[in-house]
Amino acid sequence: MRAALTFAMVTIVVLAQTTVVNRLPFDWVAGPDLVVAAVVVVALTTGPAAAAGCGFAAGLALDALPPAEHTLGTHALLMCAAGYVVSLLYRNTGAPGGLDSRVSAWTALGVTAVTALGMGLSFAAIGLLTGDPGVDLTDAAVTVALGTLATVIASPLVVLPILWTRNAFAEIDFATVQGPMTPRGW
């Protein structure tokens, strides 16, 4: 149930990103990246392999759906790497409890901000390294900063519902017939 709800919510976020957010006329180049927020929540509440799979699928959908203005596979690669790294770092450095422990909203929003900055910097680096004529250093810095700020402002719209759903339907609560297998019990 948890996986199906998460799949549906991430799919809705991808569709909202491609049909609404990417078509909004911003005065700057980059708008909020809601899919990064969705991948971060999945990464914080699953293991690295599932997070990488979710990131790859969401990124590939972003690459394939219009308006795709970049090389096919760029989003898939970066979202896959972001999901994997976030999940791996969270599991190895700060996850209280086990794999299905609850993640606070503040943690999810903070990690989303850092990941949005990393994604923006990664896209700018790819543009600079491949010699994209539309990318120069000063414009890339402004675009990354504004895109990260827009993502941070809009991310609660995505992070909080997905986090609530994943926490409400945690597998640990359905571990046995007797009830949840948590230290608190019922």
Q: Would you tell me which CATH number, out of the four given (1.10.3470, 1.10.1760, 1.10.3930, 1.10.10), belongs to the domain 2-174? A: 1.10.1760
List % helix, strand, coil for the chain (3-state, nearest 5). Answer: 70, 0, 30
Q: Got the DSSP string for 39-58?
A: HHHHHHHS-HHHHHHHHHHH
Q: Which stretches in the chain have pLDDT values below 50? A: 173-179, 186
pLDDT at 166: 83
Specify the pLDDT at position 25. 80
Joined tokens for residue 37: 């927020």
Check residue 148 and report its DSSP letter.
H
Give the pLDDT of residue 94.
63
| Model confidence, pTM | 0.83
- Residue 67, Cβ neighbours under 10 Å: how many? 9
Token match 């979710």: residue? Answer: 54
Report pLDDT for 100. 52
* Domain segments of the chain as ranges: 2-174
What sign does the CA torsion over 135, 146, 158, 120 have? positive
Fill in the amino acid letter for 23: R
